[in-house]
Amino acid sequence: MEPGAAGDSRPAKPGPCVSGAALAASGEPGRRMPTVAAVLPAGGCGERMGVGTPKQFCPILERPLISYTLQALERVCWIKDIVVAVTAENMGVMERIVQKYQHTRVSLAEAGVTRHRSIFNGLKALAEDEPGCKLSKPQVVIIHDAVRPFVEEDILLQVALAAEEHGCSDYDLEFGTECLQLALKYSDTKAKLVEGSPDLWKVTYKRDLSAAESIIKERISQEICMVMDTKEDTERVGYLLEEVLKKELNNVKIVSGVRSHGGRDIQQITLPQCYNFVCVNGAASDFPETQQLLSVLEQSSLSILYPVVVVLVYFLDFKSVPLGQKMESLMWIREFAKEVKKRNILLCGLLICYPQDEQTLQESLKQGAAIIAALIKDRNPGLIGQLLVA
């Protein structure tokens, strides 16, 4: 069995900077952290991928793979600078990626003809002691593949500490049979083998892109934030829906809160890194309130990195309003969804029939949960603006 294999299914949170306790947790609380930078050789052309685009630029949920790798490194506070080595022809592409996805600690260097040349150029950029240079010379440099997006802080920490202690200038993380070869290869140098985990796998083939997309989709589907309208009756059904969601999607963390009619308190309801919102609206709930909610989401810059799913839930009383009429009154969602799609928000409507007898209501709520799960899991932009009925 390969080392650490059981950890493959562990969903790590896509979040902001996670560091701090890391060094303490490493078991060496007295030790001083070296200054660390990272170099990413990203000059590859992606032959094996069988697609035209170099693999580090292949999109996952419309964002290039390398941006996920940069995000993983930027989450680690003690990595001060990240240098990406790209070919001259991709320099512009890379600059736009850094800007669009707001990578703040990234500098670019030109890739060489080989991986080692690219690494050398990256190191040179870090070593230059010119006045005005924003990069500072680090004690340890981590060389990380641009196409290993799932690297975690603990492994980076182990590598950085090992590098400082053993003086290895590079790190290699491999699994299974190749570990032995690696150990042998380095046997007469000051080297230390740091065990990797299967999370560290490299995106090589087209199927790896699909796997990466699935992992990312799963990670950002772990939490749902429910925003309830204050109308008393809606609130009751809202909480019933919450109960059913908790039961049906039992791996998903669900938090909820009531929206007062100013909209300002939404920030307090939402989780810091939640990409899924279910908004339970009262019968009279209207467009301005939804618009307010979406403005808060847009300002939060949540959707810069991942598409955010927003499901607007309405309860429908068949006896007082026919389905058709209700649907027509909600047709604004269609146009509005196109608008917010531009800001990477995927908006849908969900109608749940209410009141009805207890059993039918439970069935509707279950179906509603299945629809919400489908929208969140697949995150398919082809379905924005639709009014779904449970």
Binding span for a copy of itself by CB under 8 A among 141-149, 188-196, 212-220, 237-245? 212-220
Distance, in Å, from the CA atom of 117 to the CA atom of 6, rounded to the nearest integer, reads: 36
Site for a copy of itself contains 47 (CB under 8 A): yes
Residues in the chain: 390
∠ CA 121-126-129, rounded to 5°: 115
353-372 residues near a copy of itself, rule: CB under 8 A: 370-371
Return the number of the residue (32 or 342) whose C-beta is nearest a copy of itself: 342
Distance, in Å, from the CA atom of 187 to the CA atom of 152, rounded to the nearest integer, reads: 27
Distance, in Å, from the CA atom of 353 to the CA atom of 17, rounded to the nearest integer, reads: 43
Residues 6+ apart with CB under 8 A from 7: 197, 198, 199
Site for a copy of itself contains 323 (CB under 8 A): yes
Site for a copy of itself contains 45 (CB under 8 A): no
Site for a copy of itself contains 260 (CB under 8 A): no
Shortest separation between residue 323's beta carbon and a copy of itself, angstroms: 6
Each residue 182-201 as x (binds a copy of itself by CB under 8 A) or -, in order, gives ----------------x--x
Site for a copy of itself contains 380 (CB under 8 A): yes
Site for a copy of itself contains 14 (CB under 8 A): no
Site for a copy of itself contains 389 (CB under 8 A): yes
Cα→Cα distances 180→4, 6, 145, 174, 175, Å? 16, 21, 21, 10, 9
Distance, in Å, from the CA atom of 126 to the CA atom of 374, rounded to the nearest integer, reads: 46
Cβ of 167: how many Cβ atoms within 10 Å? Answer: 12
Binding span for a copy of itself by CB under 8 A among 102-110, 120-128, 271-279, 377-385? 377-385
Choose, by CB under 8 A, the member of 166, 334, 359, 364 that binds a copy of itself. 334
The one-letter code for the residue type at 56 is Q
**Which uninterrupted H or E stretch holds 40?**
strand 36-41
Cβ–Cβ under 8 Å, residues 381 and 307: yes
Q: Which 8-state DSSP code applies to residue 133?
A: -
Return the number of the residue (107 or 386) whose C-beta is nearest a copy of itself: 386
Site for a copy of itself contains 210 (CB under 8 A): yes
Site for a copy of itself contains 373 (CB under 8 A): yes
Collect contacts of 56-64 with beta carbons under 8 A, ≥24 apart.
Answer: 56/146, 56/147, 57/90, 57/93, 57/97, 58/203, 58/209, 60/209, 60/212, 60/213, 60/216, 61/213, 61/216, 61/217, 61/306, 61/307, 61/379, 62/307, 62/344, 63/101, 63/305, 63/306, 64/97
Choose, by CB under 8 A, the member of 324, 335, 358, 359 that binds a copy of itself. 324
Shortest separation between residue 370's beta carbon and a copy of itself, angstroms: 4
Shortest separation between residue 11's beta carbon and a copy of itself, angstroms: 10
Read out DSSP for 283-339?
A: TT--HHHHHHHHHHHHHTTGGGTSPEEEEEEEEE-TTTS-HHHHHHHTTHHHHHHHH
Binding span for a copy of itself by CB under 8 A among 49-57, 91-99, 105-113, 273-281? 49-57
Site for a copy of itself contains 65 (CB under 8 A): no
Site for a copy of itself contains 170 (CB under 8 A): no
R_g of the chain computed on alpha carbons:
24
Binding span for a copy of itself by CB under 8 A among 114-122, 271-279, 286-294, 380-388? 380-388
118-157 residues near a copy of itself, rule: CB under 8 A: none
Shortest separation between residue 39's beta carbon and a copy of itself, angstroms: 24
Choose, by CB under 8 A, the member of 7, 108, 195, 277 that binds a copy of itself. 7
Return the number of the residue (133 or 211) whose C-beta is nearest a copy of itself: 211
Positions in the binding site for a copy of itself (CB under 8 A): 1-2, 5-10, 47-51, 177-178, 181, 198, 201, 205-208, 210-215, 322-328, 331, 334, 370-371, 373-374, 377-378, 380-383, 386-389
